[in-house]
């Protein structure tokens, strides 16, 4: 097959490099026959450039295959004392950072989401109206929308009995615990259906966090909660949400059974606490 035809059929970055090498060789041939050293250098240069073009093309294809996710403003149905005005979007941003840090998702910016969510009344309902899902996906660039609702928050500070006394002044030892539950729904931006849902729990006890290591930071209205039991429980829950979504949407396999086991344990615990006959 003619080299001109072969180069013409190449596309993307590899095609551009192939055309440059081909026409560079023809021009050299037109001016005069290049020396052996020049021809060898030209071949080596083209081989390197074609290899790099292939790497870039593969990288672009890999990025395009990552799910594009937008995280909506979190809602609150608990009695959490730390919840105030801008916390919903702060939690959205924190979860977005967690998901981005996995390297498995393309994140849609809040600026692209907010207006569309308001128009669809999604901020309040978390549901996509029939027939509007595809349009919403096109406008935002999201394949999926993640909705989170804080449905429970509890905090307890109890004496540990390990206090100290100095010059008649007693300082009692205390242990603080916090628990948060976040109900998560992942809505398919094309169909409007809920593809994934899970109740995620986060706990903190004393100076530790029960689940994962939170990679983000606290700011805005939550800044003063960074080192509190509430902040640690929130961080634990966000890590767990990120791990869950990464598992069911990207990795799949054995990790799904681990999350199913956690969910079954949570449900069994709830049944026991209700003490149903």
At 133-165, the pLDDT tens digits run 556 666 678 999 999 999 999 998 654 454 444
Q: Which of 32, 63, 94 is the last residue of a domain?
A: 63
The reply to whether 154 and 260 lie within a common domain is yes
- Judge if 263 and 149 occupy the same domain: yes
The reported pLDDT for the residue numbered 269 is 81
Q: Is the pLDDT of residue 234 over 70?
A: yes
Question: Side-chain half-sphere of 42: how many Cα atoms within 13 Å?
Answer: 18
Domain stop point among 63, 80, 107? 63
Q: How would residue 210 be classed by pLDDT, with cut points 50, 70 and 90?
A: very low
Length in residues, the chain: 277
Note down the domain range covering 88: 66-274
Q: Within this chain, do residues 12 and 110 fall inside the same structural domain, yes or no?
A: no
Tens-place pLDDT, residues 181-197 = 999 999 998 888 899 99
The answer to whether residues 113 and 142 touch, using CB atoms and an 8 Å cutoff, is yes
- Nearest alpha carbon to residue 195 among 242, 145, 250, 133: 145
70/91 same-domain check: yes
Cα first-last separation, the chain: 80
Percent share of the chain, pLDDT over 90: 34
Which residues lie closer than 8 Å to 77 by C-beta, 6 or more apart? 149, 150, 151
Residues 72, 54 share a domain: no
CA pair distance 10, 160, nearest whole angstrom: 72
Identify whether residues 177 and 240 lie together within a single domain. Answer: yes
Residues 150, 192, single domain; the answer is yes
144 or 18: which carries more pLDDT confidence? 144
The answer on 98 and 224 residing in a single domain is: yes
Clarify whether residues 24 and 160 are in a common domain: no
Whether the per-residue pLDDT at 27 is higher than 80: the answer is no
* Confidence at 244, pLDDT banded by 50, 70, 90: very high
Q: What is the 3-state secondary structure (H, E, C) of the chain?
A: CCHHHHHHHCCHHHHHHHHHHHHHHHHHHHHCCCCHHHHHHHHHHHHHHHHHHHHHHHHHHHHHHCCEEEECCCEECCCCCCCCCCHHHHHHHHHHHHHHHHCCCEECCHHHHHHHHHHCCHHHHCCCCCCCHHHHHHHHCCCEEEEEEEEEEEEEEEECCCCEEECCEEECCEEEEEEEEEEEEEEECCCCCEEEEEEEEEEEECCEECCCCCCCCCCHHHHHHCCCHHHHHHHHHHHHHHHHHHHHHHHCCHHHHHHHHHHHHHHHHHHHHHCCC
CA–CA dist 52, 16 (Å, integer): 12
Separation of alpha carbons 151 and 79, rounded Å:
9
Residues 194 and 222 in one domain: yes
Q: What pTM was computed for the model? A: 0.66
Domain end marker among 48, 63, 78: 63
What mean pLDDT, rounded, does the chain reach?
A: 73
pLDDT value of position 245? 97
Residue 97 pLDDT exceeds 50: yes
Beta strands 174-188; 194-205: pairing state? antiparallel
Crossing angle of helices 133-140 and 110-119, in 10° steps, is 150
Q: Are residues 233 and 145 in the same domain?
A: yes
The pLDDT-based confidence of 75 (bands split at 50, 70, 90) is very high
Q: What is the CATH number of the domain that holds 184?
A: 3.40.50.10610
The proportion of the chain whose per-residue pLDDT surpasses 70, expressed as a percent, equals 55
Is residue 222 within 8 Å of 90, Cβ to Cβ? yes
Number of domains composing the chain:
2
Stronger pLDDT, 80 or 162, i.e. the higher one: 80
* Residue 40 confidence (pLDDT): 59
Identify whether residues 37 and 144 lie together within a single domain.
Answer: no
* The pLDDT of residue 67 is above 80: yes
Range of 59-63, 93-97, 255-259, 271-275 with top mean pLDDT: 93-97
Q: Above 60 in pLDDT, residue 18?
A: no
With 70 as the cut, is the pLDDT of residue 256 above it?
yes
């Amino acid at each position: 097959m003619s080299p001109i035809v072969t180069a013409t059929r190449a596309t993307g970055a590899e095609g551009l490099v192939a055309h440059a090498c081909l026409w560079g060789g023809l021009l050299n041939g037109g001016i005069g026959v290049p020396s052996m050293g020049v021809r060898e250098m030209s071949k080596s240069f083209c081989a390197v450039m074609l290899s790099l073009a292939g790497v870039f093309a593969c990288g672009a294809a890999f990025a395009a295959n990552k799910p594009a996710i937008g995280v909506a403003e979190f809602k609150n149905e608990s009695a959490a004392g730390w919840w105030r005005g801008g916390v919903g979007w702060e939690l959205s941003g924190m979860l977005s950072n967690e998901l981005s840090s996995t390297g498995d998702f393309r994140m849609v910016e809040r600026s692209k989401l907010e207006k569309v969510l308001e128009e669809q009344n999604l901020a309040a309902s978390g549901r996509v109206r029939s027939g509007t899902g595809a349009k919403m996906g096109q406008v935002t660039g999201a394949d999926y929308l993640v909705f989170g609702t804080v449905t429970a928050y509890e905090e307890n500070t109890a004496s540990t009995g390990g206090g100290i006394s100095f010059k008649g002044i007693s300082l009692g030892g205390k242990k603080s615990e916090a628990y948060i539950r976040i109900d998560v729904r992942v809505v398919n931006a094309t169909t409007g259906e809920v593809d994934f849902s899970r109740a995620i729990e986060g706990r903190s006890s004393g100076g530790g966090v029960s689940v994962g290591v939170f990679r983000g930071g606290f700011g805005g209205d939550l800044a003063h909660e960074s080192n509190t039991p509430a902040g640690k429980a929130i961080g634990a829950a966000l890590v767990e949400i990120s791990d869950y979504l990464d598992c069911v949407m990207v990795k799949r396999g054995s990790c799904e059974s681990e999350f199913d086991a956690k969910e079954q344990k949570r449900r069994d615990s709830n049944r026991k606490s209700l003490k149903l006959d």
